[in-house]
Every structure is written in C-alpha cells, then in structure tokens.
C-alpha cells in the first residue's frame, strides 16, 4: 500500500495525491492540471492523518 498525501494547487484549487515518498525537502510538486507548484495545506494534513491511519491499519 502506498502512503499518499493530499496537496492543493493554489492556482486552480484542484487536489492532487502525492506519494509520501516523493515529498521531501527540496522536492517541488507540480499541479498536474496547470503546472503550478502545489502546497501542503491543513486540509491536506487532515487527509494525511486519515491516510496514515489506514496505512497503519493495513
């Protein structure tokens, strides 16, 4: 099972899933829709909490 985290694009407001393994300092994730750099949001962190719970349960 892949641990993913939700990111929100500040430009087009679309959510995108990113693999947690890809999220590390110095790695910029880009929106698949408009190419803007996506940022981690509180909402994304909440989603991550759920993803982590599922991950630990599996």
What distances in angstroms separate CA 13 from CA 21, 25, 31, 54, one per listed residue? 23, 22, 10, 25
Nearer to Zn ion, 36 or 52 (CB): 36
**Judged by CB, which is closer to Zn ion: 21, or 32?**
32
Residue 9 binding Zn ion, by CB under 5 A: yes
Rounded Cα distance, 21 and 57, in Å: 19
Q: What's the min distance (Å) between Cβ of 25 and Zn ion?
A: 22
> Contacts with Zn ion in 10-39 (CB under 5 A)?
11-12, 31, 33-34, 36
What is the spatial distance between Cα 23 and Cα 25, in angstroms, rounded to a whole number? Answer: 7
44 lies in the site for Zn ion, by CB under 5 A: no
């Amino acid at each position: 099972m892949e641990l993913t985290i939700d990111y929100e694009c500040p430009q087009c407001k679309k959510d995108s899933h990113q693999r947690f393994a890809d999220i590390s300092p110095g790695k910029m994730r880009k929106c698949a829709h408009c190419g803007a750099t996506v940022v981690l949001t509180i909402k994304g962190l909440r989603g991550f909490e759920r993803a982590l719970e599922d991950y630990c349960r599996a």
